[in-house]
Amino acid sequence: MEELNLRNFLYDIIESDLESGKVDSIHTRFPPEPNGCLHIGSAKAIFINYMAAKKYGGKFNLRYDDTNPEKEDDEYVRSIYEDILWLGATPDGGVFFGSDYFDKCYEYAVLLINKGLAFVCDLSAEELEKYRGSFTEPGKDSPYRNRSVEENLDLFERMKNGEFPNGSHTLRAKIDMTHPNMNMRDPVIYRVLHTAHHRQGDKWCIYPLYDYAHPIQDAIEGITHSMCSIEFENHRPLYDWVVDNIGFEKKPHQYEFARLNVTNTVMSKRYLRKLVETGVVDGWDDPRMPTLSGLRRRGYTPTSIFKFIELTGIAKNYSVADISLLEHCIRDELNTTAQRRIAVLEPVKVVIENYPEDKVEYFEISNNPNDPEAGTRSVAFTKEIYIDASDFSENPPPKYFRLKPDGEVRLMGGYIIKYKDIVHAEDGSIKKIICTADLVSGNGNPSDGRKVKGTIHWVSASECERADINMYSKLFTIENTNDIGEDETYDEYLNPESLTSYKNCAVEKSLSTAVPGDRFQFVRVGYFCKDVKNPNTYNLITELKDSKPVKK
C-alpha cells in the first residue's frame, strides 16, 4: 500500500508529541465490535490509525471489542480480519480481544470499589434513566450510592458468581450526578448478563461496559493515540477518569475525528443487519451494501477506498462525502489498469448478407488504449453477430447515429455495416436485422471518403460466451440519510430499482478465461467485476463517466 500524501490535525498532534518527548513511539489500534461486518465508515478509522502508525514507524493493533456477547459472533470476527488484511492494514502490533482483559477489568473494578470510587446499585434500567437527569437538570444520587466498601465488594462478587438476575444490579463509577457531562453522572461500568460469550463461554455472567473497558485495554496494550470518531468526544472525560483512577503509569489519550458520512448510504450496522436478515439484500457482501465485503465483491480496490478517504479529508467538522467521489476514485484507477472487453447486454441478431457463410476472421482490438503494453486481442467476426438492442432504432430521433433504417454504422474495430431489412417475430419483437458490410473498409476508413459518425460494439453470434450481468444504482433514494425525519424510516427510501439483472448476455470469447475477481471495462457500458459467488455473473463496479462533477 502506498503512503498517501496526507496532512491533518491528528498528524500534527502526533508530531508534536514526538518532538516534545511526550511519547517516544506511536502505537494505535482499531477496536471493532464483532456484531456485523465492517463498512466504508470503518475504513476511515482503519485508515487513520494504520496510516499514522505506518507514517511514524509505530505499531497498529486490531482489538475486537467483544464486551457485549448478545450480538457477537465468530463469523464477524473472521470477516473483520479478512477485511483488514484486504485493505492492507496488517495489524503488526498484534490481534487482541477485549475479552482477553476481562480478568483485569474485574480486578480494576475491585480496586475502584476499595478506593470508594465504585458502588453496586440496585436501581432498574428505568429508574437509572430517571435518576440520571437531563441536559438541563442535574441527576440524583442513587439511594445505594453510600454503601460501604465491604458491602459493595460482597455484592460485586455475588454478581460475578451468578446470584442475581439480569438487570437487577449494576456496578457504577462514583463521580458526580450534577456533572454537566451526562456521561460522568455515575455511569454504569458493569452489568449482569447471563449470556454465553463467543470466546469465554459461560465463564462470566457480568460484562464491563465499553466506556470502562476501552481505556483499560488501551493502557494495557500501550496505545499512545486512541483515535476514534467524534461521537465519543463527550466520553473522553470518562476515558481519562478510568485511566487516572486506576493509576496507569503510561496513560493513553483519546482523540476524535469526524465520522465518514456518504450520500445515499446508511452506516448503521443494526439496519444493515436488518437488510440481510429480511432478505432485502443477499448478504453482508451484496454489491449494493456499503460493507467492505460488498465493495470488494463489487470490484472496488483497497487503493480506491483509501484514496477516497484521503480526498474527503480528516477533520472534526461534520460533512457528507458524495458517493460520486468514490466512484471517481475506482474509475480513475481502472481506466489505466482494466482490460477492455465487449459485452452485449440485450443481444439482437444481425445477419451480414454479403459475408461468407462459413468464414471466420479476426480483428485485433486494443486491450487498453491507455496502456500500450497491454497489447491487443483477437476478436472473431462471422456472418451473424449480436449488437445491443439500444444500438438500433426503427424510428430514430433526430441526430441518432447508431444503426437505423437506411443508415450505416462502424462496428468497433471492424467493418462498416449498412441496414437493409428487418425480420420481426410473431410477437412483434425483432428476430433479426439484415445488413450488408463494406468489406473493403476493414477497420479503417471507407475508400470513398464518406463519413460514418456512429460506432457500436458487437460480438460474433457463434464465437461468443454467455453471461449474466448485474447493473446497480444507489440503494437509497435520499441523498443525505441523516436528514430522515423522526416519523420516517430508512425503509421508505429503499430504491426498488437498485438492481437490474440482464440474463444470457453475449460476451466475447476471451472472457472464458476470466476468474472471479477479475475486473474489466465493458466498452461503452461500464467497469465490471466477475462475481466471486456466481462465476457466470459480472457485477457493475461503476459507470464510464461521472454522474456529476467531482470535487477534488
Q: At 81, which helix (H) or strand (E)?
A: helix 74-87
| Residue 315 near residue 9 (C-beta atoms within 8 A) | yes
Q: Within 133-191, where are the H helices?
A: 149-160
Q: Report how far residue 316's alpha carbon sits from residue 10's, in angstroms, rounded to the nearest whole number.
A: 10
Q: Report how far residue 144's alpha carbon sits from residue 130's, in angstroms, rounded to the nearest whole number.
A: 15
Q: Which residues pair with 458 in a beta bridge?
A: 387
pLDDT, tens digit only, all 552 positions of the chain:
455 556 789 999 999 999 999 999 999 999 999 999 999 999 999 999 999 999 999 999 999 999 999 989 999 999 999 999 999 999 999 999 999 999 999 999 999 999 999 999 999 999 999 999 999 999 999 999 999 999 999 999 999 999 999 999 999 999 999 999 999 999 999 999 999 999 999 999 999 999 999 999 999 999 999 999 999 999 999 999 999 999 999 999 999 999 999 999 999 999 999 999 999 999 999 999 999 999 999 999 999 999 999 999 999 999 999 999 999 999 999 999 999 999 999 999 999 999 999 999 999 999 999 998 999 999 999 999 999 999 999 999 999 999 999 999 999 999 999 999 999 999 999 999 999 999 987 766 676 777 888 999 999 999 999 999 999 999 999 999 988 888 889 999 999 999 999 999 999 999 999 999 999 999 999 999 999 999 899 999 999 987 654 443
Q: At 126, which helix (H) or strand (E)?
A: helix 125-132
| Residue 212 near residue 191 (C-beta atoms within 8 A) | no
> What b/e readout covers 31-54, taking b as 16+ CB neighbours within 10 angstroms?
bbbbbbbbbbbbbbbbbbbbbbbb
Domains, the chain, ordered by start: 9-257 (3.40.50.620), 269-339+469-506+514-542 (1.10.1160.10), 341-466 (2.40.240.10)
| Residue 183 near residue 235 (C-beta atoms within 8 A) | yes
Q: Are strands 361-366 and 339-341 parallel, antiparallel or unpaired?
A: unpaired
**Positive/negative CA dihedral, 76, 79, 85, 89:** negative
| Residue 214 near residue 31 (C-beta atoms within 8 A) | yes
What is the chain's length? Answer: 552
Q: Report how far residue 207's alpha carbon sits from residue 203's, in angstroms, rounded to the nearest whole number.
A: 11
Query: Residues with catalytic annotation?
Result: 33, 259, 269
- Cβ-based neighbours of 497, under 8 Å, separated by 6 or more: 473
CA atoms within 13 A on the CB side of 383: 7
DSSP code of 550?
P
With CA atoms as reference, report the closest residue to 362 among 460, 440, 506, 461.
460
- Cβ-based neighbours of 126, under 8 Å, separated by 6 or more: none
Q: Which residues pair with 94 in a beta bridge?
A: 61
